[in-house]
């Protein structure tokens, strides 16, 4: 009986504690999607978005897209090893990249000269993002961003992106019904997030619109402008693939640790195929991706690519893709 009393007492105490905490700290119920959306619209109006734009942007949106939330919560590509990432995504892009580099040489030469960004890097980003413009995504961007913002995991980020997307419509760069892209809200042939579009997209043709959906001059110019603004140095390479000595015990996975090329050479780290190092004694970091036999010396330009996409797998793959589609013949690519 005494044991039963103690169990009952503990149970009552726990219930009282729960009720006490509930009374002191009541959780705010999440607003309905409709209520939340009305608040967003009011904020958008305060940011200069017209009633007309809001009506066109939201007239088909009544509930979140469950598929988008599921995709956001399960991104297996973020867990892939470098080798798996590279082997699946990059080799098929190389032959097409070589053809496009040649086909669009005139436009690319002009963009490279204007912005100082190697044309092979521009083509590599274009290829990796949308398979050279062949797939830009079919998910309505406003609906996608509203869903991700309402979900709450990264509410501030995606709410801001939603406002940027509404500004794109307000400025009439694209019709609301045509604003479609990836499940994460990226748009156009270069897959800019709306904030990147507003910060970096350019009207290369002078037609009054920044058309990263259908106009290659704008696609290439916007890509180059992004990299230039994010610190690309046309006088430095992006990366070198290297071979390290078997007895090397130093850092191999910290992009913040730098040594000069002379220092790396003294340690015994050589370029793949015994290619010569440049005369300039540049600073570089050694990166050997986990579970990979490949190693790279990466330069400051890798950080410009990481501003585009924070994945090191992505950044290294872009450097290698550019190297391959260009035939590996110019040092400021790879």
Maximum pairwise Cα distance, the chain:
92
Q: Please name the residues in contact with 133: beta carbons below 8 A apart, sequence gap of 6 or more.
A: 126, 189, 216, 219
pLDDT value of residue 21: 41
Res 10 pLDDT > 80: no
Res 8 pLDDT > 60: no
Query: What is the rounded average pLDDT for all residues in the chain?
Result: 89
Res 7 pLDDT > 70: no
pLDDT value of residue 330: 45
* Residue linked to tokens 């590599």: 124
* pTM of model > 0.85: yes
pLDDT value of residue 73: 81
CB half-sphere exposure, 63, CA atoms < 13 A: 3
Residues 61-88: pLDDT tens digits? Answer: 999 999 999 988 876 556 789 999 999 9
Res 245 pLDDT > 70: yes
Task: In whole angstroms, give the CA distance from residue 262 to residue 281.
Answer: 6
Whole-Å CA distances, 189 to 165, 214, 248: 16, 8, 42
Residues 190-223: pLDDT tens digits? Answer: 999 999 999 999 999 999 999 999 999 999 999 9
Percent of the chain exceeding pLDDT 70 equals 88
Res 122 pLDDT > 90: yes
Task: In whole angstroms, give the CA distance from residue 89 to residue 189.
Answer: 17
Residues 148-197: pLDDT tens digits? Answer: 999 988 999 999 999 999 999 999 999 999 999 999 999 999 999 999 99
């Amino acid at each position: 009986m005494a044991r039963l009393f103690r169990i009952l007492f503990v149970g009552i105490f726990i219930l009282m504690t729960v009720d006490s905490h509930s009374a002191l700290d009541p959780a705010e119920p999440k607003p309905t999607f409709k209520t939340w959306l009305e608040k967003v619209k009011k904020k958008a109006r305060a940011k200069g978005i017209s009633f007309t734009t809001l009506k066109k942007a939201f007239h088909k949106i009544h509930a979140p897209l469950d598929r988008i939330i599921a995709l956001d919560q399960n991104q297996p590509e973020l867990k892939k090893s470098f080798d798996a990432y590279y082997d699946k995504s990059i080799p098929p892009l190389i032959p097409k990249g070589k053809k496009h580099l040649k086909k669009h040489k005139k436009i690319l030469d002009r963009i490279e000269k204007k912005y100082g960004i190697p044309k092979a890097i521009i083509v590599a980003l274009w290829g990796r993002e949308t398979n050279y413009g062949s797939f830009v995504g079919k998910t309505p961007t406003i609906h996608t961003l509203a869903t991700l913002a309402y979900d709450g995991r990264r509410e501030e980020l995606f709410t801001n992106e939603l406002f940027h997307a509404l500004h794109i419509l307000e400025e009439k760069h694209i019709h609301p019904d045509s604003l479609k892209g990836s499940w994460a809200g990226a748009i156009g042939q270069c897959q800019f997030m709306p904030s990147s579009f507003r910060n970096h997209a350019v009207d290369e043709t002078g037609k009054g619109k920044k058309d990263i959906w259908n106009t290659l001059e704008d696609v290439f110019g916007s890509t180059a402008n992004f990299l230039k603004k994010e610190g690309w140095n046309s006088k430095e390479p992006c990366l070198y693939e290297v071979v390290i000595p078997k007895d090397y015990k130093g850092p191999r996975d910290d992009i913040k640790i730098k040594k000069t090329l002379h220092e790396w050479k003294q340690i015994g780290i050589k370029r793949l195929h015994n290619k010569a190092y440049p005369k300039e004694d540049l600073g570089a970091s050694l990166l050997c991706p986990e579970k990979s036999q490949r190693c790279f010396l990466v330069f400051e330009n890798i950080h410009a690519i990481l501003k585009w996409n924070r994945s090191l797998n992505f950044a290294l793959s872009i450097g290698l893709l550019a190297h391959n589609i260009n035939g590996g013949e110019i040092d400021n690519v790879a």
